[in-house]
Structure 1
């Protein structure tokens, strides 16, 4: 991959990562409920999903998904249902103790693996991401050159940019509002806001083609 092509890839990745979506909402929600540092675990899960998306496209399966209305819809509705589930769970969530421990001293913070799994499924169950990568990747991959180094360069660039944007921008943008988590009322407001945002993204996934 030439330097000019890589700079084009880098620019495209920055623009894409700054586009708000379920991943950004998940990151900001994690930063508020779990703290800025711990929000990285959800971002890790989202990056694992990006690797799967690129692998699906590289293997030619992305074309199958894009051309099969039934398969596309199955993934689309599954993704929307998962986002609605996350939204409702947030809205109905019981406010946590502000110091993240209950009266017995048990840590109430969400586990790393739970955050990774949630981030993974939030990003993976988005068929439009597969279709997007299907249109995006060929612009930066030359068929007359070795494929593996190009795909490695692409996925590393996509992941690094997305981590920097998610953690450095979206998670950081949520930090000033973390003071609201110190009260029960503030937690309920934030949970409701992000719950509604998850449901709104689900609605867009279902109704916008």
Structure 2
């Protein structure tokens, strides 16, 4: 596809992805509460969800998405429940200095990836961007297979930069907390943020 179109898409996606939303809240809370290791798998799931919505948009399957509204509604609530589960884990995490250094027992990467996928498939922010906004600045009817692959690669690159930046910043902030009391407060705050993200996903 035309370089100008690819740059426009990448710029719009960067702005949309970098703005706070349920996905960013989940990633940051995960890193602050449990360290950066699991955040990579969670981020990968979110990226995969974005690719699903991109595919729907390029193939003109917005109507199909409306037809299977009940399925996506179930996925949305599944994502919200998963976020609540992570919020509970953060809220009840041990407040010890060792917890800051060690990553502790972490969830299986596949579970985190599926959680990120469910979160994005039910995230109204992603749905609006790909199914409503994307067709306004790209002629999706003229996207070739090569053009789709370019958009997919751009999506993965942009989201990797955005999520990677948030992970690095959150990991650095996490190192500032070394006292048990401070760790307990951090766990409670991040758990609350995660629960808030779950509520935002479920309410929209």
Using structure 2 for the length normalisation, give the TM-score: 0.78
Q: State whether residues 89 and 195 of structure 1, in contact with CA within 8 Å, keep that contact through their aligned partners in structure 2.
A: yes
Shift of 1:95: 4.0
Shift of 1:157: 1.1
Q: Distance in 2 between matches of 1:173 and 1:12?
A: 22
> RMSD value over aligned CA atoms?
3.0
Structural mapping, 1:75-94, within 5 Å = 75-94=75-94
Structural mapping, 1:1-209, within 5 Å = 1-36=1-36, 39-66=39-66, 70-71=70-71, 73-95=73-95, 97-98=98-99, 99-100=101-102, 108-138=105-135, 139-143=137-141, 145=142, 147-168=144-165, 170-208=166-204
Q: 1:200 to 1:124 in 2, by over 3 A?
A: same
Q: Distance in 2 between matches of 1:16 and 1:9?
A: 11
Shift of 1:196: 1.3
Shift of 1:69: 5.7
Q: 1:84 to 1:40 in 2, by over 3 A?
A: closer
Q: Which 5+ residue runs of structure 2 have no aligned equivalent? A: none
Q: State whether residues 32 and 173 of structure 2, in contact with CA within 8 Å, keep that contact through their aligned partners in structure 1.
A: yes
Q: Distance in 2 between matches of 1:52 and 1:115?
A: 17
Q: 1:39 to 1:87 in 2, by over 3 A?
A: closer
The number of aligned residues is 201
Using structure 1 for the length normalisation, give the TM-score: 0.77
Q: Distance in 2 between matches of 1:190 and 1:41?
A: 22
Q: 1:33 to 1:85 in 2, by over 3 A?
A: closer
